[in-house]
């Protein structure tokens, strides 16, 4: 694939927010998202589509057990045929290994005319798509690979401003300085045990004791024991733990936080936190974390985060978001691809 400049390959300076790159694409450009249903993957693909100024056609891949287990090396599940069916889009974006067989079949069945983009490191190498957007800390390199420091997301200055202007009532009701606590959870690299759960509950309780309000949310990976500990720690008028009831206040929490504390196991949540202008503190996650440590070190070096050391401190930082640069690189690469086929 041609058309990726050296600057584009290392997209990730990422200061600022998400102006649309729609003007860089021809009128009528179409885009399809192949989704595996995971919220983190969908946030990345939607973030890029929206930054391109395009309305995506989202098709959910729900491969049966055998096909899912063998992905990305097996052919796509015939039950997912609708996801690679015509009319073929100009651009297709996918994330998650179970989407790769469908993405490759879409490329083949379109006669090569669909420009394919895969987000994250593909297990089957750089041939997974025309363009691969793999996080820098994965160390995945190739002529068709972009390496942003943070993953794409849907956090834009416009969305944050709207959430500040009309905050979720549960967030607005919290008095004084508000701290958002974003809890991730277990991964293949490590699980949250009694020690880590107690630490996070202590952070929440100590912030409340200092006179601050604390608003916390969990991820789908958060173990029940951690949810229960945070719910108990925040059972006070100035505490709020979102338990899944009602509208998700996540964006409102980010937009209205005077400081953010996030667990380091979630690359996506850390990336979304630093897209705001609030001071961001990261609690180191449990278990093996070589790549996570590299990610956090790079963000720390860039002045985007500080590692949690037990206390909030006054400091300022600019929003840090690679989404716009990623979208520009996708538009640039697509235009070069289209020109090579004309």
- Let me know if residue 317 belongs to a domain: no
Q: Can you give the pLDDT at residue 23?
A: 55
Question: CB atoms < 10 A from the CB of 310, how many?
Answer: 8
Whole-structure pTM value: 0.90
Q: Give me the chain's average pLDDT, please.
A: 91
- Let me know if residue 104 belongs to a domain: yes
- Let me know if residue 179 belongs to a domain: yes
Strands 280-283 and 306-307: parallel
CA distance 275 to 265: 17
Strands 91-95 and 31-35: parallel
Identify the band that residue 12 occupies on the pLDDT scale cut at 50, 70 and 90: very low
Identify the band that residue 3 occupies on the pLDDT scale cut at 50, 70 and 90: very low
Cβ(284)–Cβ(306) below 8 Å: no
Top-confidence residue, 189 or 267 = 267
Task: Tell whether 181 and 271 lie within a shared domain.
Answer: yes
- Let me know if residue 1 belongs to a domain: no
Is residue 22 over pLDDT 80? Answer: no
List the Cα angle 276/280/282 in 5-degree steps: 135
Length of the chain: 342
Task: Tell whether 50 and 84 lie within a shared domain.
Answer: yes
Query: What are the DSSP calls for 73-100, one per residue?
Result: TSPPPGGGGGGGPSSPPSEEEEESGGGH
Task: Tell whether 217 and 242 lie within a shared domain.
Answer: yes
Residue among 274, 298, 330 nearest 15 (CA): 274
Identify the band that residue 5 occupies on the pLDDT scale cut at 50, 70 and 90: very low
Cβ(333)–Cβ(115) below 8 Å: yes
Cβ(321)–Cβ(275) below 8 Å: yes
Edge-to-edge strand list for the sheet holding 259-263? 239-241, 213-218, 178-183, 259-263, 280-283, 306-307
The span from the first CA to the last CA of the chain, in angstroms, equals 15
CA distance 75 to 157: 40
Task: Tell whether 40 and 101 lie within a shared domain.
Answer: yes
Looking at the chain, the whole-number percentage of residues with pLDDT higher than 70 is: 93
Which of these ranges, 74-83, 107-116, 179-188, has the smallest mean pLDDT?
179-188
Q: Can you give the pLDDT at residue 286?
A: 84
Is residue 2 over pLDDT 50? Answer: no
Identify the band that residue 271 occupies on the pLDDT scale cut at 50, 70 and 90: very high
CA distance 305 to 340: 41
Q: Can you give the pLDDT at residue 243?
A: 85
**Stretch 180-190: mean pLDDT:** 86
State the residue for tokens 């390496």. Answer: 147
Task: Tell whether 87 and 178 lie within a shared domain.
Answer: no
Q: Which CATH number is 67's domain given?
A: 3.40.50.2300
- In the chain, % helix, strand, coil (3-state, to 5) comes to 40, 15, 45
Q: Which domain holds residue 329?
A: 6-153+323-341
Task: Tell whether 208 and 105 lie within a shared domain.
Answer: no
For residue 111, give every residue at least 6 positions away whose Cβ sits within 8 Å of its Cβ, in sequence order, or none: none
CA distance 90 to 287: 42
CA distance 60 to 38: 10
CA distance 322 to 11: 7
Task: Tell whether 19 and 104 lie within a shared domain.
Answer: yes
Residue among 313, 324, 273 nearest 295 (CA): 273
Q: Can you give the pLDDT at residue 95?
A: 97
Strands 145-146 and 239-241: unpaired
Two structure tokens written together for 247: 């509208």
- Let me know if residue 314 belongs to a domain: no
Task: Tell whether 178 and 44 lie within a shared domain.
Answer: no
Top-confidence residue, 10 or 190 = 190
- Let me know if residue 328 belongs to a domain: yes
**Stretch 77-103: mean pLDDT:** 97
Is residue 82 over pLDDT 90? Answer: yes
Top-confidence residue, 313 or 280 = 280
Task: Tell whether 74 and 108 lie within a shared domain.
Answer: yes
Task: Tell whether 34 and 111 lie within a shared domain.
Answer: yes
Which of these ranges, 59-68, 272-281, 287-296, has the smallest mean pLDDT?
287-296
**Stretch 221-239: mean pLDDT:** 94
- Let me know if residue 264 belongs to a domain: yes
For residue 272, give every residue at least 6 positions away whose Cβ sits within 8 Å of its Cβ, in sequence order, or none: 43, 153, 155, 254
The total number of structural domains in the chain stands at 2
- Let me know if residue 327 belongs to a domain: yes
Task: Tell whether 28 and 145 lie within a shared domain.
Answer: yes
**Stretch 3-28: mean pLDDT:** 56
Task: Tell whether 181 and 298 lie within a shared domain.
Answer: yes
Q: Which CATH number is 183's domain given?
A: 3.40.50.2000
Is residue 248 over pLDDT 60? Answer: yes
CA distance 336 to 333: 5
């Amino acid at each position: 694939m041609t058309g990726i400049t050296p600057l584009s390959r290392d997209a990730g300076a990422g200061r600022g927010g998400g102006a649309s790159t729609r003007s860089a694409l021809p009128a009528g450009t179409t885009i399809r998202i192949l989704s595996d249903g995971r919220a983190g993957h969908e946030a990345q693909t939607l973030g890029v589509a929206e930054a391109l100024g395009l309305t995506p056609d989202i098709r959910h891949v729900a491969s049966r057990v055998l096909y899912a287990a063998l992905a990305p090396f097996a052919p796509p599940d015939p039950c997912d045929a609708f996801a690679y069916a015509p009319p073929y889009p100009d651009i297709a974006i996918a994330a998650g290994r179970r989407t790769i067989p469908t993405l490759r079949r879409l490329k083949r069945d379109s006669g090569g005319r669909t420009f394919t983009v895969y987000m994250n490191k593909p297990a089957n190498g750089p041939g997974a798509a025309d363009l691969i957007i793999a996080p820098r800390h994965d160390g995945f390199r190739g002529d068709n690979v972009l390496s942003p420091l943070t993953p794409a997301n849907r956090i834009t200055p416009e969305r944050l401003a709207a959430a500040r202007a009309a905050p979720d009532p549960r967030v607005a009701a919290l008095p004084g300085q508000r701290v958002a606590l974003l809890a991730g959870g277990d991964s293949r690299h490590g699980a949250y045990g009694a020690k880590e759960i107690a630490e996070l509950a202590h952070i929440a309780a100590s912030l409340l004791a200092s006179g601050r309000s604390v608003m916390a949310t969990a991820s789908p990976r958060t173990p029940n024991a951690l949810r229960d500990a945070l719910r108990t720690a925040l059972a006070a008028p100035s505490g709020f733990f979102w338990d899944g009831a009602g509208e998700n206040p996540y964006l409102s929490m980010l937009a209205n936080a005077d400081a953010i504390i996030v667990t380091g196991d979630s690359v996506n949540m850390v990336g979304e936190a630093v897209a705001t202008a609030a001071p961001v503190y990261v609690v180191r996650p449990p278990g093996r974390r070589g790549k996570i440590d590299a990610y956090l070190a790079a963000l720390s070096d860039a002045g985007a985060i500080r590692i949690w050391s037990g206390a909030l401190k006054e400091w300022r930082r600019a929003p840090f978001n690679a989404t716009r640069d990623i979208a520009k690189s996708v538009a640039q690469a697509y235009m070069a691809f289209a020109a090579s086929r004309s």
